Amino acid sequence: MAYAHVNGVDIWYDEYGEGDKYVVCASGGDFKHADFSRWPYYMADYGYHLITMTLRGHWKSTHVTEDYGKEWYNIYADDVYEAARQIIGDDRKFIYMGLSHGSGVGWHLVTRHPEAVSCFVAIVCGPHYLNGDLNEKQTSFARERTIQAADDPVLKEQIMKEWEPDWSRIPPERLEEEKAMYQQRCQDWMEMTPEEMRVRPRIAFAWIDTEEELVEKLKTVQVPMLMLAAGQDSIVNPKAMFRSAMAVPNAKTIFYQNAQHGFAMGKDALAEDAKEEILLFLKQQERLGNIR
């Protein structure tokens, strides 16, 4: 647990595991509670040296009130790159893993700093579908509600209640743990500060206006990639995942037809399958000499 001072801000990070097979993950606030049976923490149990980072504007990292416009993800990626250089050294490559918002950072890492990334594991990574999935401010509808809730306590409470699972569908042996997780998520949500909630990072490659241009950008990615897609995703349109799967050269993409957006962070059979696919992909990359 420490800070990396980069680009004028402090980036909070944690380390798990040891060795020189580094895995870097970044997020806006998903890495508050380590659970080694869940993504990404289980990586430390499989011989990887995991580093989780909290992006600027969130949790223990420096909070910001400036709107960076279409540069948010470039700035995020540069922060992660510089922090990784501080933590693991200038000459070491790292595996980057991201989920949702964190995978948006990954897209910019592999296009701005490809020499630093050995491979990219991208879960529900989009980038967002440009034909109807965003509002005029280049913001997903889910993110827009979070921004609105910063100044609307009634909406903030309503969003939290919408997360409550149908407890009758949870296996009895998991019910107590799932309720504890839900309560923790609600507590974290209610403790978020207004400035955290107002962050509007827009989307990856925000300066690109059409699907055709975005496909051409994705074709330039040369870092080995594994993409995991959720067929029932209400945040990242599966059409966006299919477009990316067909655009990125030599990428491996797996679609989970009945999965939701956060499926890889769970403890069910889908999450277990995702873990196995991630570990298999990384072993394959080791055999190919891409991870040393």
Domains of the chain: 2-133+202-284 (3.40.50.1820)
Average pLDDT over residues 155-163: 94
Q: What are the pLDDT digits (tens) for 51-93? A: 999 999 999 999 999 999 999 999 999 999 999 999 999 889 9
Q: Please report which confidence band the pLDDT of residue 1 belongs to, taking 50, 70 and 90 as the band edges.
A: confident
Q: Which of 59-63, 130-134, 169-173 has the highest mean pLDDT?
A: 59-63
Checking if the pLDDT of 242 tops 80, the result is yes
Q: What are the pLDDT digits (tens) for 247-257? A: 999 999 999 99
CB 125 within 8 A of CB 244: yes
Checking if the pLDDT of 134 tops 70, the result is no
Cα gap 245→7, rounded to integer Å: 33
Q: Which two tokens stand for residue 8?
A: 């004028």
Q: What is the DSSP string of the chain?
A: -EEEEETTEEEEEEEES-SS-EEEEEESS--SS--TTSTTGGGGGGT-EEEEEEPTTSTTSPP-----GGGHHHHHHHHHHHHHHHHH-TT--EEEEEETHHHHHHHHHHHH-GGGEEEEEEES--PPPTTTSB-TTS-BHHHHHHHHHTT-HHHHHHHHHHT---GGGS-HHHHHHHHHHHHHHHHHHHH--HHHHT-----TTTT--SHHHHHHHHTT--S-EEEEEETT-SSS-HHHHHHHHHHSTT-EEEEETT--TTGGGSSSHHHHHHHHHHHHHHHHHHHTTS--
Strand-pair partners of 15: 51
Residue with tokens 């399958």: 273
pLDDT given at position 131: 76
The model scores a pTM over 0.85 = yes
Residue with tokens 């990072």: 201
CB 13 within 8 A of CB 22: no
CB 204 within 8 A of CB 101: no
